[in-house]
Amino acid sequence: MCDSSDDSFICYIKELPPELQAEAAAKAIEINPENAPQARHVQQLSAQEQPNNLKLTLLYLKRWPKTGVNLTVGFFGDPPAELRARILSHMNAWNVSANVVFTETELTNNPQVRISFDNSGYWSAIGTTITSVPQDQATMNLGGLTVDTPESEFRRVVRHETGHTLGFLHEHQRPEIANRIDPDKAIAHYKAIYNWSEAMTRATILNAINPDSATQTILADPNSVMCYPLPASIMKDGIAIEAGRDISASDMAFAATLYPKPNTSRRLMHTIRNSDGSWQPMEDLNVSLYIPGPITAIAGASGDNGDTHFVFVVIWGDSGIPGELWHLIRYADGSWSQMDSLSRLFNLTSGVSAVTAASGANGAVHFAFTTSEGLLKYTVRESSGRWQPMSDLHTELNIHGMVVALSGTNGAEGAVQFAFTTSDGKLWHAIRNSDGNWRPLLNLSAALSPIWTGDVATIAGAAGEYIGDTVFVFATRRARLWYSVRHRNGGKWTGLNDLGEALNLKKRVVAVGGCEGADRQSQFVLVTEDGHVWHTIRYFEGSWQQPVPLDWVLPISGAVPTVAGVHGDNGETHFIFTTYQ
């Protein structure tokens, strides 16, 4: 269960020499006028600093035009065609959500992106500054990458460095994450491992980037491919940041906000699986509603009168609220309510990064969500439509570290259950009784297996075979897929069960949604890294149906970064997902 691969990942941002800074700033503004420093940022500089050109150049953005990124790529050192093709395919992985195309060309054609393989590690220049790097120099270095390097390393490294070329900075230098690092411990750690000076560690790890003046994701995302893994030993709270190994749902949405493809970034698809196993046609909710921007998280639960409730997070949209949480009801007659902004209702001062929902007693629907700081919040919508005040679960359950992924389902007697991960990949389980009291938090990773490190990236839960039983499915960053069943009687768990083996699904699962179906089944939809979407059922006696590729049944193509399931009436199950197709 342990993985021996080296998880350290260090990359440098290639800075231009001072004499090229002014030219790079002028070029950035010429390429995209929105790169110009905002007046409020210039005013923040002191009077002595203002005439200093170099200081001013730190304030401009380095984004490519909103109309898209179309760059040529050349290689130093004449690498084999197989290596070049693999690198290009990972660079173009950003194309699943964004208008981004990289095309190979000969060095003699003066390619805009120039890749070398010398032993100086991994690095890239940022965004439009690549146009100021002298033509005989590389803009990106992939030291040590060969055709024998594992695919997982290509995915993490090439996609990360390409993110820099698109203008993205390091996610761990956002204040929400950087402020969790202990400076003294970090300086000692990077000195011991990489022989870095204090200045180097401060510049690369510790110095928080002002989110207002930088090009990085809109909300802090510890799962971003642009985030460094940070060991527990250098964190103030002792909780590691596992970091992303691939373009995350929020990376995809952020790229789609900067470089949108026409008509693809607002899709919110809904479909129903009938109890006989047939599927109803997909409906794109952006046709009848107006989805304000790309969606990064989605969840749902059933209410009363056959209503189904959905919540979703728009990373950045026309309302201007980052990470805005929206609520929507599908009525039993198939019509949809208006969308309501829960961010406005609760006057949230932080963006929402993850969300889940569960059905409680008396038609109430329970919602748990995390803020950009990784704090867990909670609210309940009563069947009357009244929302209970938002509560702070982080304090109430004494949670340490950032909460990253979460999933909820209904348990016994009006109780609701939640499983969630902290940034170190550890799993936790919480139960809220119908009287509103929470039972003590369970360290689920430790309860399921004494030798399991966790490493969970995504979770879904569903009600199980007997009333009050619950089934949770967990996908890890290292391509393992597990499930465990919690029995109502005594709260016993079945341990860590290998779902990848049971389903013969060997690909890494990047998104999962689940819900209760007819005949005490638990149903799950799984999205694999190759973009396929699968549906499977756990039957009441505990066997699993071999997964059905949903893209054979429904016209789904392209990336599906997030999916949720909701138990409906008459054995129907609702699935809602986002797509950039």
> Nearer to Zn ion by C-beta: 242 or 516?
242
3-state secondary structure of 142: strand
491 vs 98: CA distance, rounded Å? 45
Expressed in percent and rounded to 5, the helix, strand and coil fractions of the chain are 25, 30, 45
Shortest distance (Å) from residue 164 CB to Zn ion = 6
> Is residue 448 within a helix (H) or strand (E), and if so which, with residue range?
helix 444-448
Shortest distance (Å) from residue 204 CB to Zn ion = 9
Q: Is 11 in the site for Zn ion (CB under 5 A)?
A: yes
> Nearer to Zn ion by C-beta: 11 or 206?
11
3-state secondary structure of 427: strand
CB atoms within 10 A of CB 37: 17
Shortest distance (Å) from residue 466 CB to Zn ion = 49
Q: What token pair was written down for 567?
A: 């138990």
Shortest distance (Å) from residue 387 CB to Zn ion = 41
Span near Zn ion by CB under 5 A; candidates 11-19, 308-316, 317-325, 538-546: 11-19
> Nearer to Zn ion by C-beta: 196 or 575?
196
Shortest distance (Å) from residue 228 CB to Zn ion = 8
Q: Distance between alpha carbon 299 and the CA centroid of its chain, in Å?
A: 14
Instruction: Kindly compute the dihedral angle of the four CA atoms of residues 470, 473, 514, 225, in this order, to the nearest 10 degrees.
Output: 140
Q: What token pair was written down for 198?
A: 């204090």
Terminal Cα-to-Cα distance of the chain (whole angstroms): 35
Shortest distance (Å) from residue 489 CB to Zn ion = 50
**Residue type at position 570:** N
> Nearer to Zn ion by C-beta: 11 or 220?
11
> Nearer to Zn ion by C-beta: 11 or 357?
11
Q: Is 91 in the site for Zn ion (CB under 5 A)?
A: no
Phi, psi of 40 (to 5 degrees): -65, -30
99 vs 89: CA distance, rounded Å? 15
> Nearer to Zn ion by C-beta: 169 or 463?
169
**Residue type at position 529:** E
Dihedral sign, Cα of residue 382, residue 469, residue 422, residue 425: negative
Select the residue whose beta carbon is closest to Zn ion and give its number.
11
Instruction: Quote the crossing angle between the two packed helices 81-91 and 151-165, to the nearest 10°.
Output: 60
> Nearer to Zn ion by C-beta: 11 or 268?
11
Instruction: Kindly compute the dihedral angle of the four CA atoms of residues 552, 557, 558, 564, in this order, to the nearest 10 degrees.
Output: -70
Shortest distance (Å) from residue 242 CB to Zn ion = 17
Span near Zn ion by CB under 5 A; candidates 7-15, 35-43, 96-104, 542-550: 7-15
> Nearer to Zn ion by C-beta: 11 or 415?
11
Shortest distance (Å) from residue 9 CB to Zn ion = 8
**Taking Cα atoms as reference points, which of 336, 341, 259, 252 lies closest to residue 295?**
252
> Nearer to Zn ion by C-beta: 11 or 61?
11
Span near Zn ion by CB under 5 A; candidates 4-12, 62-70, 146-154, 387-395: 4-12
Shortest distance (Å) from residue 154 CB to Zn ion = 15
> Nearer to Zn ion by C-beta: 173 or 372?
173
Span near Zn ion by CB under 5 A; candidates 3-11, 57-65, 380-388, 481-489: 3-11
Q: Is 166 in the site for Zn ion (CB under 5 A)?
A: no
73 vs 57: CA distance, rounded Å? 26
Binding mask 492-511 for Zn ion (x = CB under 5 A): --------------------
> Nearer to Zn ion by C-beta: 11 or 187?
11
> Nearer to Zn ion by C-beta: 244 or 294?
244
Q: Distance between alpha carbon 274 and the CA centroid of its chain, in Å?
A: 30
Span near Zn ion by CB under 5 A; candidates 9-17, 125-133, 298-306, 403-411: 9-17
Shortest distance (Å) from residue 170 CB to Zn ion = 5
**Taking Cα atoms as reference points, which of 571, 570, 577, 569 lies closest to residue 302?**
569
Dihedral sign, Cα of residue 177, residue 181, residue 183, residue 186: negative
Secondary structure (DSSP) of 200-238: HHIIIIIS---TTTS-S-SS--TT-TTSPPB-GGGBTTS
Span near Zn ion by CB under 5 A; candidates 8-16, 108-116, 340-348, 475-483: 8-16
**Residue type at position 141:** N
**Residue type at position 448:** L
Span near Zn ion by CB under 5 A; candidates 10-18, 99-107, 433-441, 477-485: 10-18
Shortest distance (Å) from residue 14 CB to Zn ion = 10
How far CA 146 is from CA of 105, 120, 154, 164, 262, in Å, comes to: 20, 15, 9, 21, 36
295 vs 451: CA distance, rounded Å? 36
Shortest distance (Å) from residue 145 CB to Zn ion = 15
Shortest distance (Å) from residue 12 CB to Zn ion = 7
Strand order in the sheet with 573-578: 283-284, 268-273, 573-578, 563-567
> Nearer to Zn ion by C-beta: 226 or 537?
226
Q: How many residues bind Zn ion (CB under 5 A)?
A: 1
Enumerate binding residues for Zn ion (CB under 5 A): 11
